[in-house]
A and B are shown apart, each in its own frame.
Chain A
Amino acid sequence: IAGITQAPTSQILAAGRRMTLRCTQDMRHNAMYWYRQDLGLGLRLIHYSNTAGTTGKGEVPDGYSVSRANTDDFPLTLASAVPSQTSVYFCASSDGTEDTGELFFGEGSRLTVL
């Protein structure tokens, strides 16, 4: 494969449960990002990582955590899911920084929290 793979594609989750969304890229990009996309709103950045071993908070980080143990993987964890976290989650990567490099997106993970 070439690009970004996200898993799962879709998930229904009970409130209070822990959930990890997986993201893997094979383009050797330094920077990776997690966005959520909600109807009527623009993409909102949750967390990002400019290089392996470093992470940063985006616009809406509360309730989410990330790790970047290596270049390829950037999982997003919801420690205790709440209904407001129902959304479509996109992982993305770039070989530059977010504001100068083209972003490559995964196909998205649709999460429903009941």
Chain B
Amino acid sequence: GQNIDQPTEMTATEGAIVQINCTYQTSGFNGLFWYQQHAGEAPTFLSYNVLDGLEEKGRFSSFLSRSKGYSYLLLKELQMKDSASYLCAGTDSNYQLIWGAGTKLIIKP
């Protein structure tokens, strides 16, 4: 089957680092997306990984291992505004996105 798994909820402290994991099982994989979604708002694009390795964008980094079907989103120097859901999405054999249910990240002072 085709599946995207990510933790339902995580809690972290302001100023700290958090890693949100995502595992995927899809036939026909092109790449993996991460989106951020604040409560009651639209998802917004964070990153897209096609090749293995780590891609850094400011405080946010995303990692992909195609052989392991695994990705993670790393958030550094956490700020209260980073409290949101983080959505992982990968492609299936029909080249359509399969979305995880999202990880709700709670930041505590």
Which residues of A are in contact with B by a Cβ distance under 8 Å? 40-45, 48, 58-59, 90, 97-100, 102-108
Contacts and interface: CB of A to CB of B under 8 A. Distances in A.
Interface of B: 4, 30-31, 33, 35, 41-45, 48, 87, 89, 91, 95-102
Contacts of A103: 33, 35, 43, 45
Query: From DSSP, what is the main secondary structure of chain B's interface residues?
Result: strand
A105 B89 CA distance: 15
Instruction: Kindly list the 8 A-B residue pairs having the minimum CB-CB distance in the complex, ordered from nearest.
Output: A42-B99, A105-B42, A99-B91, A43-B99, A102-B45, A99-B95, A99-B30, A42-B101
Contacts of A107: 41-42
A98 B96 contact: yes
Nearest to A43: B99
B31 A99 contact: yes
A105 B31 contact: no
